[in-house]
Structure 1
């Protein structure tokens, strides 16, 4: 029990309401490794203990929440980056730019205009290639030009 309390202190269980430390898992691992029958065997982690593996096959655990897996530094970075992004998005110039982009997407229907542009370009290239006649000084070899596939076709996998 003393080892359990020392580990709980290391995991800061007495300072927080929630931690990733599971006392039963620690106790199982510690007792398994301290067993006198396993005296000369190497340390075995909790999830590598044979009877634990068998138990978890039939009774899988839910995943541990990300908030418990992150260190304090990692959590601070995530919170700070979110806050900085929020402050930038609140800036009046950025708001104006975002509104302009939104309005442009709605009013101009950019994706449709891009598709129309590429369709026109493909048609131009295709009509130019079809109108060109083979030159008479060729050595009897004819080359067939095919227009490229339209940009708006989707490939099926």
Structure 2
């Protein structure tokens, strides 16, 4: 209410224009601009549009130093970057990034590796992993990464085995006979530890007494003046 009171009133004679009602037919309501009903009811044909590279003539006529930003992106950036982004999405789906909040998959690492290996200047060279790329190795020497948590490195099968093993061990430890055995073992370890300390004390005391006796014997063997 206070906000509405602060708004200045419209001047006299001012009329708000009413927007014209747009009537849309039922077919047009379900069809986006630029699409026809054939997109929603496609013919049962398995046809895939092949990847069409940029025309070579356009590459020759476009100067990367003097062309507009739009031409530079469409000619030199998008033909390489867009296939890399498509591969990135496919790999992210395999790594179940769309199903979990945390995964070991790092999108920037994958895209860096893909672009480095798809570089036209490296045609015919063997595939290079991300951590073997020269500038990546140099970067990680000065800025090492923290280790990845084990929970992200384990596969679903390995994680399931670890959880099941822990649960089985817990159920076994809850058994009354196992509890009694564990208490007996605990008491045995404590008693054994005490006995070791007592033995060490007596051994140290005997060594001390033995040294004192040897000193006394040496003093007795010294001839009097």
The answer to whether 1:105 aligns with 2:208 is no
Partners of 2:113 and 2:192 lie apart in 1 by 64
The answer to whether 1:6 aligns with 2:90 is yes
TM-score normalised by structure 2 residue count: 0.48
* C-alpha distance after superposition, 1:4-27 (max 9, x if no partner): 101100111011111000000000
The answer to whether 1:17 aligns with 2:101 is yes
The answer to whether 1:43 aligns with 2:127 is yes
Residue 109 of structure 1 deviates from its aligned partner by 4.3
Residue 106 of structure 1 deviates from its aligned partner by 2.7
- Tell me the C-alpha RMSD between the 2 structures: 1.9
Partners of 2:192 and 2:138 lie apart in 1 by 60
Residue 30 of structure 1 deviates from its aligned partner by 0.2
Residue 107 of structure 1 deviates from its aligned partner by 3.9
Question: Of the candidates 32, 38, 46, which is equivalent to residue 116 of structure 2?
Answer: 32
Match of 1:143 in 2: none
3-state DSSP of counterpart to 2:182: helix
- Name stretches of at least 5 consecutive residues in structure 2 with no aligned partner: 1-84, 204-225
Instruction: Classify 1:97/1:62 alpha carbon distance in 2 versus 1 (closer, same or farther; 3 Å).
Output: same
Partners of 1:51 and 1:85 lie apart in 2 by 48
TM-score normalised by structure 1 residue count: 0.68
Task: Name the count of aligned residue pairs.
Answer: 116
Match of 1:56 in 2: 140
Partners of 2:125 and 2:195 lie apart in 1 by 65
Partners of 2:141 and 2:192 lie apart in 1 by 55
Instruction: Classify 1:108/1:22 alpha carbon distance in 2 versus 1 (closer, same or farther; 3 Å).
Output: closer
Partners of 1:98 and 1:16 lie apart in 2 by 40
Runs of 4+ in structure 1 off by over 3 angstroms are 107-111
Residue 40 of structure 1 deviates from its aligned partner by 1.0
Question: Of the candidates 37, 54, 72, which is equivalent to residue 156 of structure 2?
Answer: 72
**Bigger radius of gyration, 1 or 2?**
2
Instruction: Report 1 or 2 for greater relative contact order, CA contacts < 8 Å, sequence distance ≥ 6.
Output: 1
Match of 2:42 in 1: none
- Name stretches of at least 5 consecutive residues in structure 1 with no aligned partner: 120-157
